[in-house]
Amino acid sequence: MNFVKESVNQTPIVDTVFSIVAKAKEAKAKVGSENVVDATIGSLYDEEGTLVALDSVYSSLKNLDNKVLAAYAASFRGNPDFRQKVYDWVLNGNSHLEHEVIATPGGTGAVGMTLQECLDEGQTVILPEIAWGSYVLMAQMHNLNVEKYSLFEKDHFNLNSFKTACKKVMEKQNRLVMVINDPCHNPTGYSLSEEEWKEVISFLNECSKTHAVVLLNDIAYIDFSSRQEKAKEYFAQFDQIEKNFVVIVAFSLSKSMTSYGLRCGAAIVLGQEKEAVNQVKIVFEKDARATWSNINNGAMATFVDVLDNHKDAYDQERLHYVNLLKERGDIFVKEANEVGLKHYPYKEGFFVTLSMDNETRDKFHEALMENNIFTVKVNLGIRVAICSLSVEKTKGLAKKMKDILDTVA
């Protein structure tokens, strides 16, 4: 009995988040919220422990005509005004390349579509060693092999490891597809410097002399960078890409608009030549139509309305939380450094990740839970979701964790 295709892996997903979220909830019911540190949830929460849903966004959505919410989008690629607005908002004047935008269900849709359509079965995608779990699942679902690059060399991006991974894959296939999740890498909070991006592009340009290059740049958290507009300046480096090289920027409204539930994002395809960008656009449009048909029309209309008519209110609200996130991050990192709790080089973003081998991680994670501190295990580390942790709960947490770590390590 087999109702699914032979070529699909039937092993169920091992859940590392929902079960821990549930345990944290149980603990709160048992000993009281005030005695539990719940650093599991990967969405932005305010200081009162409530999910942030920006007023500027949801008042815009709720003011839309019902018919706008009800209607199909104008195109399988998304509404034209949405596509233009995404391009303008994300690139912020920093890019001069040929471009096309395809609306997708969140950033997931843009990343998944790229892995599905840019590599044939049996080929290899290059992924960061510490990463959002869905990348590996996507590779598995499309029967791709994975080559991983180590993220850090001391406190900097490990360009050598990145190069080694690319060279290894180039020996096997004629196209290079890699994911760089930057800025605000999930889950370490690292952001490449301008110089690091320059070196990455320069190296990939070399590769493009013999291999087609598709760089998937996942920018899910970009609008919560503490550098704001400055965090978008690295896009100018992409102007240097050669002809045999396209960049696909995976943008998500989930974080930018605090609208995880609306399922809206975009793939922005950038290249030197119209023909290259058009090739990707055609295939992505077909994939979209055959997979989800079109994208949440109200979410697209809201994005356009917020940026056209409520931008000041939106900026003000968002910046409040950008600053709050920075405050939490600064506290945690400062205290961690003071007590010698090792972490990956955090610069900005929703998560800080403590660095350790996986054996220590497993023991530590258990011990933390015994002390009512709930976190999520990632490869080679423990993810601390400062995005959902109040300043008050953040204070003193690093020392508590270090003390617990000392009992198991």
Site for a second copy in 309-368 (CB under 8 A): none
Please report, as a single letter, which amino acid is at residue 307. Answer: L
Q: How many angstroms separate the CA atoms of 155 and 153, rounded?
A: 6
Of 64 and 236, the one with the shorter C-beta distance to a second copy is 64
Of 237 and 297, the one with the shorter C-beta distance to a second copy is 297
Least CB distance to a second copy at residue 333 (A): 27
Least CB distance to a second copy at residue 398 (A): 28
Please report, as a single letter, which amino acid is at residue 377. Answer: K
Q: How many angstroms separate the CA atoms of 79 and 103, rounded?
A: 8
Of 3 and 155, the one with the shorter C-beta distance to a second copy is 3
Mark out the alpha helices in 208-296 (DSSP H runs). 253-256, 274-291
Of 81 and 285, the one with the shorter C-beta distance to a second copy is 285
> Segment near a second copy (CB under 8 A), from 102-110, 188-196, 317-325, 353-361?
102-110
Of 228 and 278, the one with the shorter C-beta distance to a second copy is 278
- Using CB under 8 A as the binding rule, whether residue 14 contacts a second copy is answered as no
> Segment near a second copy (CB under 8 A), from 109-117, 349-357, 374-382, 400-408?
109-117
> Segment near a second copy (CB under 8 A), from 26-34, 83-91, 290-298, 342-350?
290-298
Tell me the sheet residues that pair with 352.
384
- Using CB under 8 A as the binding rule, whether residue 275 contacts a second copy is answered as yes
Tell me the sheet residues that pair with 217.
180, 249
Please report, as a single letter, which amino acid is at residue 193. Answer: S
Using CB under 8 A, which of 39, 102, 112, 324 touches a second copy? 112
Least CB distance to a second copy at residue 359 (A): 27
Least CB distance to a second copy at residue 271 (A): 8
Q: Are the C-beta atoms of 306 and 56 separated by less than 8 Å?
A: yes
Mark out the alpha helices in 208-341 (DSSP H runs). 253-256, 274-291, 297-309, 311-339
Q: Are the C-beta atoms of 351 and 186 separated by less than 8 Å?
A: yes
- Residues touching a second copy, count (CB under 8 A): 82
- Using CB under 8 A as the binding rule, whether residue 25 contacts a second copy is answered as no
Q: Are the C-beta atoms of 122 and 143 separated by less than 8 Å?
A: yes
- Using CB under 8 A as the binding rule, whether residue 58 contacts a second copy is answered as yes
Query: How would you label 182-215 residue by residue, b for 16+ Cβ within 10 Å and e otherwise?
Result: bbbbbbbbbbbeeebbebbbebbbebbeebbbbb
Least CB distance to a second copy at residue 44 (A): 9
CB atoms within 10 A of CB 14: 7
Taking Cα atoms as reference points, which of 103, 119, 97, 123 lies closest to residue 281? Answer: 103
Rounded to 5°, the CA angle 374-225-250 comes to: 90
Q: Are the C-beta atoms of 284 and 269 separated by less than 8 Å?
A: yes
Q: How many angstroms separate the CA atoms of 88 and 84, rounded?
A: 6
- Using CB under 8 A as the binding rule, whether residue 134 contacts a second copy is answered as yes
- Using CB under 8 A as the binding rule, whether residue 68 contacts a second copy is answered as yes
- Using CB under 8 A as the binding rule, whether residue 102 contacts a second copy is answered as no
- Using CB under 8 A as the binding rule, whether residue 34 contacts a second copy is answered as no
Least CB distance to a second copy at residue 380 (A): 22
Using CB under 8 A, which of 35, 88, 153, 282 touches a second copy? 282
**Residues with Cβ < 8 Å from 59, sequence gap 6 or more?**
310
Mask: binding to a second copy, 198-227, rule CB under 8 A, as x and -? Answer: --------------x-x-------------
- Using CB under 8 A as the binding rule, whether residue 5 contacts a second copy is answered as yes
- Using CB under 8 A as the binding rule, whether residue 242 contacts a second copy is answered as no
- Using CB under 8 A as the binding rule, whether residue 66 contacts a second copy is answered as yes
Using CB under 8 A, which of 220, 262, 354, 368 touches a second copy? 262
How far is C-alpha 195 from the geometric centre of its chain's CA atoms? 21
Using CB under 8 A, which of 246, 322, 325, 380 touches a second copy? 246
Question: And the tokens for 323?
Answer: 């600053």
Site for a second copy in 157-196 (CB under 8 A): 175
